[in-house]
Amino acid sequence: MKIVAYTYEADFHCPACAVEAAAVGLLKREPPLDSWTDEHGLAADLIDREGNRIHPVFDIDEHEHDETCGDCRAPIRD
């Protein structure tokens, strides 16, 4: 199983854009802080600007195959 995207702010985001969003502070951590990080180095306790937790989308999850990243518009591939 690998992470192919993340959902937050009511959209899909590719891993590269999610990592960038976390690096510049668009995604924040919320206590209680979790020490676990995923394969892209993102913490399990990240929240978006609306206060919702981000969710990984795995290659085995059901999703539309024409989804694109809400930031860079790259296709979300399995």
Per-residue pLDDT at 30: 82
Amino acid identity, position 66: D
User: Does some domain include residue 12?
Assistant: yes
User: Does some domain include residue 33?
Assistant: yes
User: Does some domain include residue 73?
Assistant: no
pLDDT for 10-44, tens place per residue?
999 999 999 999 999 999 998 888 889 999 999 99
Provide the residue range defining the domain that includes 54: 3-58
The answer to whether 6 and 12 have CB atoms below 8 angstroms apart is yes
What is the number of domains present in the chain?
A: 1
pLDDT for 47-77, tens place per residue?
999 999 999 999 888 766 688 999 999 999 7
Per-residue pLDDT at 13: 97
d(CA 2, CA 60): 8
User: Does some domain include residue 71?
Assistant: no
User: Does some domain include residue 65?
Assistant: no
User: Does some domain include residue 43?
Assistant: yes
The answer to whether 38 and 44 have CB atoms below 8 angstroms apart is yes
User: Does some domain include residue 18?
Assistant: yes
User: Does some domain include residue 77?
Assistant: no
User: Which pTM was predicted?
Assistant: 0.89
